[in-house]
Amino acid sequence: MKVTKAVIPAAGLGTRVLPATKAMPKEMFPIVDKPAIQYIVEEAVRSGITDILIITNRGKGIIEDHFDRTPALEQRLLESGKNDVYEQLVDISKLANIYYIRQKETKGLGHAVNCARSFVGNEPFAVLYGDDVIIGEDPACGQLIRAYEKYGKAVVGIKAVPESEIFKYSSLKVEQLEENIFSCTDMVEKPKTKDAVLSLYSILGRCVLTPDIFDILDNTKPGAGGEIQLTDAMKTLAQTVGMTGVDYTGKRYDMGDKFGILQATVEIALQNPLLREPFAKYLKEIAQTL
Ligand code: UTP
Protein backbone atom coordinates (compact mmCIF):
# COMPACT_ATOMS: atom_id res chain seq x y z
CA MET A 1 0.00 0.00 0.00
CA LYS A 2 1.33 3.44 -0.98
CA VAL A 3 2.29 5.78 1.87
CA THR A 4 0.40 9.05 1.36
CA LYS A 5 -0.31 10.12 4.94
CA ALA A 6 2.07 11.72 7.41
CA VAL A 7 1.87 12.80 11.02
CA ILE A 8 3.93 15.67 12.38
CA PRO A 9 3.96 15.76 16.20
CA ALA A 10 4.43 19.39 17.21
CA ALA A 11 2.89 19.49 20.66
CA GLY A 12 6.04 19.30 22.81
CA LEU A 13 6.83 21.94 25.40
CA GLY A 14 10.29 22.71 24.06
CA THR A 15 11.79 23.09 27.52
CA ARG A 16 15.35 22.94 26.19
CA VAL A 17 14.91 26.25 24.41
CA LEU A 18 12.98 28.25 26.97
CA PRO A 19 12.23 31.13 27.19
CA ALA A 20 11.99 31.29 23.36
CA THR A 21 9.27 28.61 23.45
CA LYS A 22 7.24 30.29 26.19
CA ALA A 23 4.81 31.75 23.64
CA MET A 24 6.30 30.57 20.32
CA PRO A 25 6.36 26.90 19.26
CA LYS A 26 9.87 25.72 18.33
CA GLU A 27 8.38 24.28 15.13
CA MET A 28 7.83 27.91 14.04
CA PHE A 29 11.41 29.06 14.69
CA PRO A 30 12.65 30.61 11.45
CA ILE A 31 15.57 29.15 9.52
CA VAL A 32 16.62 32.02 7.23
CA ASP A 33 13.17 32.82 5.78
CA LYS A 34 10.91 29.86 6.54
CA PRO A 35 9.68 28.33 9.78
CA ALA A 36 11.16 24.92 10.61
CA ILE A 37 7.88 23.11 10.10
CA GLN A 38 7.59 24.37 6.51
CA TYR A 39 10.87 22.61 5.61
CA ILE A 40 9.38 19.45 7.15
CA VAL A 41 6.07 19.72 5.28
CA GLU A 42 7.99 20.34 2.04
CA GLU A 43 10.11 17.23 2.65
CA ALA A 44 6.94 15.17 3.18
CA VAL A 45 5.37 16.52 -0.02
CA ARG A 46 8.55 15.78 -2.01
CA SER A 47 8.31 12.23 -0.63
CA GLY A 48 4.84 11.68 -2.12
CA ILE A 49 2.78 12.57 0.95
CA THR A 50 -0.58 14.23 0.19
CA ASP A 51 -2.28 14.34 3.61
CA ILE A 52 -0.64 15.61 6.77
CA LEU A 53 -1.90 15.66 10.35
CA ILE A 54 -0.09 18.11 12.60
CA ILE A 55 -0.44 17.34 16.30
CA THR A 56 -0.63 20.65 18.13
CA ASN A 57 -1.22 22.02 21.57
CA ARG A 58 -2.42 25.18 23.26
CA GLY A 59 -0.62 28.21 21.87
CA LYS A 60 0.30 26.54 18.58
CA GLY A 61 -2.42 28.28 16.52
CA ILE A 62 0.20 30.16 14.54
CA ILE A 63 1.17 26.88 12.88
CA GLU A 64 -2.37 26.72 11.42
CA ASP A 65 -2.18 30.39 10.41
CA HIS A 66 1.07 29.74 8.57
CA PHE A 67 -0.44 27.12 6.24
CA ASP A 68 -3.62 29.18 5.68
CA ARG A 69 -4.36 31.90 3.10
CA THR A 70 -3.85 35.56 4.11
CA PRO A 71 -6.28 37.56 1.92
CA ALA A 72 -5.45 41.06 3.19
CA LEU A 73 -1.69 40.56 2.93
CA GLU A 74 -1.98 38.85 -0.46
CA GLN A 75 -4.08 41.76 -1.82
CA ARG A 76 -1.49 44.26 -0.57
CA LEU A 77 1.36 42.32 -2.22
CA LEU A 78 -0.48 42.22 -5.54
CA GLU A 79 -1.24 45.95 -5.38
CA SER A 80 2.41 46.76 -4.77
CA GLY A 81 3.59 44.49 -7.60
CA LYS A 82 5.29 41.94 -5.34
CA ASN A 83 3.96 39.05 -7.39
CA ASP A 84 6.78 36.63 -6.58
CA VAL A 85 6.24 36.90 -2.81
CA TYR A 86 2.49 36.64 -3.42
CA GLU A 87 2.97 33.37 -5.33
CA GLN A 88 5.24 32.04 -2.60
CA LEU A 89 2.62 32.73 0.09
CA VAL A 90 -0.24 31.19 -1.86
CA ASP A 91 1.87 28.10 -2.63
CA ILE A 92 2.36 27.43 1.11
CA SER A 93 -1.39 26.96 1.52
CA LYS A 94 -1.48 24.51 -1.40
CA LEU A 95 1.38 22.25 -0.31
CA ALA A 96 -0.82 19.42 1.01
CA ASN A 97 -4.13 18.70 2.71
CA ILE A 98 -3.20 19.68 6.24
CA TYR A 99 -5.28 18.67 9.26
CA TYR A 100 -4.79 19.49 12.92
CA ILE A 101 -5.59 17.80 16.20
CA ARG A 102 -4.68 18.83 19.71
CA GLN A 103 -2.84 16.56 22.07
CA LYS A 104 -4.78 17.57 25.16
CA GLU A 105 -2.08 16.58 27.64
CA THR A 106 1.65 16.59 26.89
CA LYS A 107 2.29 12.95 27.74
CA GLY A 108 5.08 12.16 25.29
CA LEU A 109 5.76 11.43 21.64
CA GLY A 110 4.04 8.02 21.77
CA HIS A 111 0.91 9.63 23.21
CA ALA A 112 1.05 12.33 20.51
CA VAL A 113 1.28 9.76 17.69
CA ASN A 114 -1.63 7.85 19.23
CA CYS A 115 -3.80 10.96 18.64
CA ALA A 116 -3.49 10.19 14.89
CA ARG A 117 -5.40 6.88 14.95
CA SER A 118 -8.61 8.03 13.25
CA PHE A 119 -6.70 10.14 10.67
CA VAL A 120 -4.48 7.21 9.76
CA GLY A 121 -7.13 4.47 9.61
CA ASN A 122 -5.73 1.21 8.30
CA GLU A 123 -2.80 2.55 6.28
CA PRO A 124 0.96 2.77 6.74
CA PHE A 125 2.00 6.34 7.56
CA ALA A 126 5.10 8.45 7.97
CA VAL A 127 6.02 10.31 11.16
CA LEU A 128 8.19 13.41 10.82
CA TYR A 129 9.24 14.81 14.21
CA GLY A 130 8.25 18.47 14.22
CA ASP A 131 11.55 19.76 15.56
CA ASP A 132 13.86 17.73 13.30
CA VAL A 133 14.62 19.50 10.03
CA ILE A 134 16.46 17.31 7.52
CA ILE A 135 17.99 18.93 4.47
CA GLY A 136 19.09 16.83 1.50
CA GLU A 137 18.53 16.32 -2.20
CA ASP A 138 16.79 12.97 -1.67
CA PRO A 139 14.11 13.63 0.98
CA ALA A 140 14.72 11.48 4.09
CA CYS A 141 11.04 10.59 4.44
CA GLY A 142 11.03 9.29 0.84
CA GLN A 143 14.09 7.12 1.54
CA LEU A 144 12.17 5.47 4.40
CA ILE A 145 9.06 5.03 2.26
CA ARG A 146 11.13 3.24 -0.41
CA ALA A 147 12.50 0.88 2.27
CA TYR A 148 8.94 0.22 3.48
CA GLU A 149 7.89 -0.63 -0.06
CA LYS A 150 10.88 -2.95 -0.53
CA TYR A 151 10.90 -4.80 2.82
CA GLY A 152 7.23 -4.48 3.86
CA LYS A 153 8.06 -3.66 7.48
CA ALA A 154 7.80 -0.48 9.55
CA VAL A 155 10.92 1.68 9.14
CA VAL A 156 12.99 3.89 11.42
CA GLY A 157 15.33 6.62 10.20
CA ILE A 158 18.64 6.03 11.97
CA LYS A 159 22.01 7.72 12.44
CA ALA A 160 25.09 6.78 14.43
CA VAL A 161 25.57 9.10 17.41
CA PRO A 162 28.74 9.67 19.48
CA GLU A 163 29.22 7.14 22.30
CA SER A 164 29.12 9.91 24.91
CA GLU A 165 25.66 10.99 23.70
CA ILE A 166 23.84 7.68 23.17
CA PHE A 167 22.34 7.97 26.67
CA LYS A 168 20.26 10.95 25.49
CA TYR A 169 18.81 9.04 22.53
CA SER A 170 17.56 5.54 21.72
CA SER A 171 19.86 2.62 20.94
CA LEU A 172 19.03 -0.02 18.33
CA LYS A 173 19.98 -3.64 17.73
CA VAL A 174 20.68 -3.74 13.99
CA GLU A 175 22.07 -6.04 11.31
CA GLN A 176 23.21 -4.68 7.96
CA LEU A 177 21.15 -5.67 4.88
CA GLU A 178 22.43 -3.14 2.32
CA GLU A 179 24.92 -0.28 2.40
CA ASN A 180 22.65 1.98 4.49
CA ILE A 181 19.76 -0.40 5.26
CA PHE A 182 19.53 -2.58 8.35
CA SER A 183 17.11 -4.96 9.98
CA CYS A 184 16.18 -3.89 13.49
CA THR A 185 15.04 -6.43 16.08
CA ASP A 186 15.28 -4.54 19.37
CA MET A 187 15.68 -1.05 20.79
CA VAL A 188 15.88 0.82 24.07
CA GLU A 189 15.01 4.46 24.82
CA LYS A 190 17.69 6.43 26.71
CA PRO A 191 19.84 3.46 27.84
CA LYS A 192 20.82 3.96 31.46
CA THR A 193 24.02 1.90 31.53
CA LYS A 194 26.77 0.92 29.06
CA ASP A 195 25.45 -2.67 29.11
CA ALA A 196 22.03 -1.48 27.99
CA VAL A 197 23.49 0.08 24.81
CA LEU A 198 22.62 -2.13 21.80
CA SER A 199 24.56 -0.09 19.22
CA LEU A 200 25.39 3.54 18.54
CA TYR A 201 22.56 3.69 16.00
CA SER A 202 19.68 5.79 17.22
CA ILE A 203 16.28 6.74 15.78
CA LEU A 204 16.50 10.31 14.59
CA GLY A 205 13.55 12.29 13.33
CA ARG A 206 11.65 10.04 10.94
CA CYS A 207 9.79 6.75 10.79
CA VAL A 208 7.20 4.92 8.71
CA LEU A 209 4.76 2.98 10.87
CA THR A 210 2.07 0.41 10.29
CA PRO A 211 -1.36 0.89 11.93
CA ASP A 212 -0.77 -1.98 14.39
CA ILE A 213 1.32 0.57 16.35
CA PHE A 214 -1.92 2.07 17.76
CA ASP A 215 -3.01 -1.01 19.71
CA ILE A 216 0.55 -1.29 21.02
CA LEU A 217 0.53 2.39 22.05
CA ASP A 218 -2.77 1.89 23.89
CA ASN A 219 -0.93 -0.61 26.10
CA THR A 220 2.36 1.28 26.46
CA LYS A 221 3.04 2.51 29.96
CA PRO A 222 4.98 5.73 30.64
CA GLY A 223 8.72 5.10 30.27
CA ALA A 224 11.80 7.37 30.32
CA GLY A 225 10.96 10.80 31.76
CA GLY A 226 7.48 9.59 32.77
CA GLU A 227 6.34 10.02 29.12
CA ILE A 228 4.67 7.50 26.81
CA GLN A 229 7.62 6.82 24.55
CA LEU A 230 7.15 5.99 20.86
CA THR A 231 10.37 3.96 21.08
CA ASP A 232 8.83 1.66 23.70
CA ALA A 233 5.94 0.88 21.33
CA MET A 234 8.27 0.44 18.33
CA LYS A 235 10.34 -1.94 20.42
CA THR A 236 7.35 -4.32 20.47
CA LEU A 237 7.11 -4.07 16.67
CA ALA A 238 10.86 -4.66 16.32
CA GLN A 239 10.83 -7.68 18.62
CA THR A 240 7.76 -9.32 17.07
CA VAL A 241 7.53 -8.63 13.33
CA GLY A 242 10.84 -6.78 12.98
CA MET A 243 11.55 -3.33 11.59
CA THR A 244 13.87 -1.87 8.96
CA GLY A 245 16.42 0.86 9.74
CA VAL A 246 17.53 3.37 7.09
CA ASP A 247 20.69 5.39 7.68
CA TYR A 248 19.28 8.21 5.54
CA THR A 249 21.30 10.75 3.62
CA GLY A 250 20.74 14.42 4.50
CA LYS A 251 21.80 16.68 7.33
CA ARG A 252 19.58 16.76 10.41
CA TYR A 253 19.14 19.85 12.56
CA ASP A 254 17.58 19.60 16.02
CA MET A 255 15.41 22.70 16.34
CA GLY A 256 14.70 21.81 19.96
CA ASP A 257 18.32 22.49 20.85
CA LYS A 258 20.16 25.84 20.90
CA PHE A 259 23.24 24.53 19.07
CA GLY A 260 21.07 22.78 16.47
CA ILE A 261 19.18 26.01 15.77
CA LEU A 262 22.45 27.89 15.22
CA GLN A 263 23.82 25.17 12.90
CA ALA A 264 20.61 25.19 10.84
CA THR A 265 20.69 28.95 10.41
CA VAL A 266 24.35 29.12 9.40
CA GLU A 267 24.37 26.11 7.07
CA ILE A 268 21.04 26.78 5.35
CA ALA A 269 21.98 30.45 4.87
CA LEU A 270 25.17 29.27 3.15
CA GLN A 271 23.02 27.29 0.68
CA ASN A 272 20.91 30.33 -0.19
CA PRO A 273 22.02 31.77 -3.57
CA LEU A 274 21.45 35.40 -2.51
CA LEU A 275 22.98 35.13 0.96
CA ARG A 276 25.84 32.75 0.28
CA GLU A 277 28.49 35.22 -0.77
CA PRO A 278 27.89 38.08 1.69
CA PHE A 279 27.23 35.68 4.57
CA ALA A 280 30.39 33.63 3.90
CA LYS A 281 32.39 36.87 3.83
CA TYR A 282 30.86 37.91 7.14
CA LEU A 283 31.56 34.51 8.73
CA LYS A 284 35.19 34.63 7.62
CA GLU A 285 35.58 38.07 9.22
CA ILE A 286 34.03 36.83 12.44
CA ALA A 287 36.14 33.65 12.42
CA GLN A 288 39.32 35.77 12.32
CA THR A 289 38.37 37.34 15.64
CA LEU A 290 37.82 34.00 17.42
P1 UTP B 1 11.03 16.22 22.06
O2 UTP B 1 11.17 15.37 23.27
O3 UTP B 1 12.23 16.63 21.31
O4 UTP B 1 10.20 17.54 22.36
O5 UTP B 1 9.97 15.51 21.11
P6 UTP B 1 9.93 18.33 23.71
O7 UTP B 1 9.23 17.47 24.70
O8 UTP B 1 9.24 19.58 23.26
O9 UTP B 1 11.43 18.68 24.15
P10 UTP B 1 12.06 19.28 25.47
O11 UTP B 1 12.89 18.15 26.00
O12 UTP B 1 10.96 19.75 26.38
O13 UTP B 1 12.92 20.42 25.01
C14 UTP B 1 10.11 15.30 19.71
C15 UTP B 1 8.88 15.78 18.94
O16 UTP B 1 7.69 15.27 19.54
C17 UTP B 1 6.78 16.31 19.84
C18 UTP B 1 7.63 17.57 19.96
O19 UTP B 1 6.87 18.73 19.60
C20 UTP B 1 8.76 17.30 18.97
O21 UTP B 1 8.42 17.74 17.68
N22 UTP B 1 6.06 15.96 21.10
C23 UTP B 1 6.74 15.61 22.22
C24 UTP B 1 4.68 16.00 21.11
O25 UTP B 1 4.03 16.31 20.07
N26 UTP B 1 4.01 15.69 22.26
C27 UTP B 1 4.67 15.33 23.41
O28 UTP B 1 3.99 15.06 24.42
C29 UTP B 1 6.08 15.31 23.38
Compute φ and ψ for 173, nearest 5 degrees: -90, 115
Structural contact between residues 235 and 170, judged by C-beta atoms closer than 8 angstroms:
no
Ligand 1 atom nearest the C-alpha of 130 is: 21
pLDDT for 36: 98
| Strand, helix or coil for residue 131 | coil
Q: Which residues contact 285 (CB under 8 A, 6 or more apart)?
A: none
Mean pLDDT (whole number) for 133-146:
98
CA-CA-CA-CA torsion sign (20, 104, 191, 188): negative
* 127 Cβ inside 6 Å of ligand 1: no
**Model pLDDT for residues 168-186, shown as the tens digit of each residue:** 999 999 999 999 999 999 9
Kindly indicate the confidence band of residue 228, based on its pLDDT and cuts at 50, 70 and 90.
Answer: very high
**Model pLDDT for residues 5-50, shown as the tens digit of each residue:** 999 999 999 999 999 999 999 999 999 999 999 999 999 999 999 9
Mean pLDDT of the chain: 96
**Model pLDDT for residues 69-95, shown as the tens digit of each residue:** 999 999 999 999 999 999 999 999 999
Distance 185 CA to ligand 1 centre (A): 25
Whole-prediction pTM value?
Answer: 0.96
Report the 3 state secondary structure along 26-53.
Answer: HHHCEECCEEHHHHHHHHHHHCCCCEEE
* 10 Cβ inside 6 Å of ligand 1: yes
Domains, the chain, ordered by start: 5-287 (3.90.550.10)
For residue 150, CA distances in Å to 83, 144, 207, 231, 238 come to 43, 10, 15, 23, 17
From atom 4 of ligand 1, which residue's Cα is the shortest distance away? 12
Angle among Cα 240, 243, 249 to the nearest 5 degrees reads 165
pLDDT for 147: 97
Ligand 1 atom nearest the C-alpha of 132 is: 21
Calculated CA dihedral for residues 147, 148, 154, 159, nearest 10 degrees: 20
From atom 22 of ligand 1, which residue's Cα is the shortest distance away? 12
* 228 Cβ inside 6 Å of ligand 1: no
* 11 Cβ inside 6 Å of ligand 1: yes
Choice from 13, 22, 60, 257 to test ligand 1 binding pocket (greatest atom count within 8 A of CB)? 13
* 108 Cβ inside 6 Å of ligand 1: yes
* 256 Cβ inside 6 Å of ligand 1: yes
Ligand 1 atom nearest the C-alpha of 106 is: 28
Choice from 58, 131, 133 to test ligand 1 binding pocket (greatest atom count within 8 A of CB)? 131
For residue 229, CA distances in Å to 10, 17, 114, 126, 243 come to 15, 21, 11, 17, 17
* 25 Cβ inside 6 Å of ligand 1: no
- The Cβ of residue 235 has, within 10 Å, a number of other Cβ atoms equal to 24
- How far does CA 259 lie from the centroid of its chain? 17
* Rounded-to-integer distance, Cα 264 and Cα 248, Å: 18
Residue 1 has pLDDT above 90, yes or no: no
